[in-house]
Amino acid sequence: MTSGAPLTIDLASEQETLQLATSLAKLAAPGLTVLLDGPVGAGKTTVARQTIQHLLAEHGQLEDVPSPTFTIVQTYEAGPLEIWHADLYRLTSTAELNELGLDAAFDTAFCLVEWPDRMGESSTDALTITLGYGPSEGTRTADISATGNAAAVLDRLQESLSQ
Ligand SMILES: Nc1ncnc2c1ncn2[C@@H]1O[C@H](COP(=O)(O)OP(=O)(O)OP(=O)(O)O)[C@@H](O)[C@H]1O
Ligand SMILES: [Mg+2]
């Protein structure tokens, strides 16, 4: 049965954040959208980069994954899987989302989106990972929730993290 219950995890080091991203990579699929929320420097790009590099490495590819702060979108191909990495911090209007093709990509690609609040209310099913600062330097927290079809992905993520 799908529970989709939200979970909070403590990330005691950057290594633990990278492990979360590796677990996430194993669940990547076309049509899955991951919203990466949280303040500047919380670790959104760190999660996206590790997730993407893990997927690329599975296909023997080694690529830089720069923060898409200025390009807004960077795309990758891990074998048959199309990956979109978006940073909407500099988005000027929601019309730009259509121009970028992000709406369409939500249906067909594996999408990782930083600063998702810039989209306003998104109607797409998504896994949301909200990163925050932990109690001491080098620590973070991750609140993870899901809407719609992503609830099953959240359950599988919880399962893999508890192993
Ligand atoms: N536990 C941790 N998890 C993730 N990053 C950490 C952790 N501890 C320290 N860091 C550091 O915090 C920084 C996170 O930067 P990152 O670019 O991933 O943040 P961001 O949320 O994408 O910021 P921005 O809003 O500017 O896009 C990196 O320099 C990383 O090394
Ligand atoms: Mg970033």
Render pLDDT for 48-96 as a digit per residue (tens, 0 to 9): 999 999 999 999 999 999 999 999 999 999 999 999 999 999 998 888 8
**Ligand 1 nearest atom to the CA of residue 46, by list position:** 18
Taking residues 143-159, report their average pLDDT: 97
Confidence of residue 157 (pLDDT cuts 50, 70, 90): very high
User: Is the pLDDT reported for residue 1 higher than 90?
Assistant: no
Confidence of residue 33 (pLDDT cuts 50, 70, 90): very high
Confidence of residue 9 (pLDDT cuts 50, 70, 90): very high
pLDDT, residue 94, reads 84
The 3-state secondary structure of the chain reads: CCCCCCEEEEECCHHHHHHHHHHHHCCCCCCCEEEEECCCCCCHHHHHHHHHHHHHHHCCCCCCCCCCCCCCEEEEEECCEEEEEEEHHHCCCCHHHHHHCHHHHHHHCEEEEECHHHHCCCCCCCEEEEEEECCCCCCEEEEEEECCCHHHHHHHHHHHHCC
User: Is the pLDDT reported for residue 119 higher than 80?
Assistant: yes
Taking residues 114-133, report their average pLDDT: 92
pLDDT, residue 95, reads 87
Residue of 13, 36, 46 to test ligand 1 pocket, by largest number of atoms within 8 Å of CB: 46
Whether ligand 1 lies within 6 angstroms of the CB of 22 is answered as no
Task: Give residue 159 CA to ligand 2 midpoint distance, Å.
Answer: 27
User: Is the pLDDT reported for residue 121 higher than 90?
Assistant: no
Fold of 9-143: Rossmann fold (3.40.50)
Task: Give residue 61 CA to ligand 1 midpoint distance, Å.
Answer: 24
Residue of 14, 69, 91, 141 to test ligand 1 pocket, by largest number of atoms within 8 Å of CB: 14
Confidence of residue 26 (pLDDT cuts 50, 70, 90): very high
Whether ligand 1 lies within 6 angstroms of the CB of 46 is answered as yes
Domains of the chain by residue range: 9-143
Q: Percent of the chain scored above 90 by pLDDT?
A: 88
Whether ligand 1 lies within 6 angstroms of the CB of 17 is answered as yes
* Per-chain mean pLDDT for the chain: 95
**Ligand 1 nearest atom to the CA of residue 38, by list position:** 21
